[in-house]
Structures are given as structure tokens and as C-alpha cells.
């Protein structure tokens, strides 16, 4: 556990040090690459995290999903370590929620069952070359992803966030692919 905590701090500090202009450029580049994939093209229901300032920004992915008439969902924190997928009907339905993360206004919430989701864009501090993921420490996605049984689980990351291996535990949920500016690794 201690090595995970230290690694998480290291990767999150490095991620936070990326200049905003570079973060935004890489975000656009990754989204453009992702939109051309069969995974995106065939997905009818896509879930993605609502970006915090230091994360790769996904607003352009949200806009593409809505324009392409895909059902878009974001996570809603419902308890300690627990999230549910909630539909985003449009940008106007969003407001700032817990932890300063955008969420869907309460009166507009429509929940989506995890097994219905075709693709989940997963956040994380680091990823390894076998599909391992070092999350952000709350266990939200480790609990949610196993229930998204039909979804491709994909991470967008900086190249420095991909390492040979991570100190994982049995409860750590794996992903199917990680996309960086230089490569897309599929597992």
C-alpha cells in the first residue's frame, strides 16, 4: 500500500506540472485519435470522467458524443468509494458537484446500468503494460469497472504515465487499453 501511495503522489505531481497549453494540445490529439477508433465508432453508450483541471481534458469528447447522438454518461459519487453512471443529456445539464467535479443537475439525472455501457474512459495516476491501473486512491473505479462487463475500459494518458509494471492488488480493476500521444496499447 505504501509503495502505491508514493507512486501515486509522484505521478500526480508530474501530471500537475504539465503546462496547460501542452495538456490541452495532448487532450485534443488523444480525443481525435480515439474518435477514429472502432471502439468509439461502435459504442452506443460511452462513459467518461468529468475532467478536473490537472487531468487530460475531455470536453471535446463530450461534444463529439453528443453530436454523434451517443448516450454519454459521467460518474456520480453516491457514497464512499461508490459511483453510478448518470446520463449527460447536454452541457446545460451540468453543474459543479462534490470535489469540484462537474455533475448532472439532480432534477435531470437518469442512471445507466454498468452492463449497458460499451466504453468507459478511465482516469488514473499511472498504467502498466499489462492493463494494470494505479487509480487516484478512492477505489471508485475498482468497484465500478467489474460491473461494466460489456465495456471496453480505456485510459488516456501522458507517455510518462505508462510504466512496465505497478504494485497491484487483487481488487485493482484492469483496463483494456491505454492511449498516449505515442501509442495505443491494447491488452
Relative to beta strand 111-112, strand 102-104 is unpaired
Q: Which residues of 20-56 are buried (b: 16+ CB within 10 A; e: fewer)?
A: eeebeebbeebbeebeebebbeebebbbbbbbeeebb
In contact, 172 and 132? CB cutoff 8 Å:
yes
What is residue 103's DSSP assignment?
E
DSSP string, 127-182: EETTS-EE--SS-HHHHHGGG-TT-EEEEE--GGGEES-----TTPPP-SEEE-SS
What pLDDT shows up at residue 102?
Answer: 86
In contact, 61 and 48? CB cutoff 8 Å:
yes
**Residue 10's CB: how many other CB atoms inside 10 A?**
12
pLDDT tens digits for the chain (187 residues)? 568 889 999 999 999 999 999 999 999 999 999 999 999 999 999 999 999 889 999 999 999 999 999 999 999 988 888 999 999 999 999 998 877 788 899 999 999 999 999 999 999 999 999 999 999 888 999 999 999 999 999 999 999 999 999 998 888 999 999 999 999 999 9
Class of domain 2-186: alpha beta
What pLDDT shows up at residue 134?
Answer: 95
What pLDDT shows up at residue 132?
Answer: 95
What pLDDT shows up at residue 126?
Answer: 96
* Distance of alpha carbon 90 from alpha carbon 185, whole angstroms: 31
What pLDDT shows up at residue 56?
Answer: 96
Find the radius of gyration of the CA atoms of the chain. 15
Domain ranges for the chain, please list them.
2-186
Predicted structure pTM score: 0.93
* Distance of alpha carbon 7 from alpha carbon 102, whole angstroms: 27
Element (H, E) at 3: helix 2-16
Amino acid at each position: 500500500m505504501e509503495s502505491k501511495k508514493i507512486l501515486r503522489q509522484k505521478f500526480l505531481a508530474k501530471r500537475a506540472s504539465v503546462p496547460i497549453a501542452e495538456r490541452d494540445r495532448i487532450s485534443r490529439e488523444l480525443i481525435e485519435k480515439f474518435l477514429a477508433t472502432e471502439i468509439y465508432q461502435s459504442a452506443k453508450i460511452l462513459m467518461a470522467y468529468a475532467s478536473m483541471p490537472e487531468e487530460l481534458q475531455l470536453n471535446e469528447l463530450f461534444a463529439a458524443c453528443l453530436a454523434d447522438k451517443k448516450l454519454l454518461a459521467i460518474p456520480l459519487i453516491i457514497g464512499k468509494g461508490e459511483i453510478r453512471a448518470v446520463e449527460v443529456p447536454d452541457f446545460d445539464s451540468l453543474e459543479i458537484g462534490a470535489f469540484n467535479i462537474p455533475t448532472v443537475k439532480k432534477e435531470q439525472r437518469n442512471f445507466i446500468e454498468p452492463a449497458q455501457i460499451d466504453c468507459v474512459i478511465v482516469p488514473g495516476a499511472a498504467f502498466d503494460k499489462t492493463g494494470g491501473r494505479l487509480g487516484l486512491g478512492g477505489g471508485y473505479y475498482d468497484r465500478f469497472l467489474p460491473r461494466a462487463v460489456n465495456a471496453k475500459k480505456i485510459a488516456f494518458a501522458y507517455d510518462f504515465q505508462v510504466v512496465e509494471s505497478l504494485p497491484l492488488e487483487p481488487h485493482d480493476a484492469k483496463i483494456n487499453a491505454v492511449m498516449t500521444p505515442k501509442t495505443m496499447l491494447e491488452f
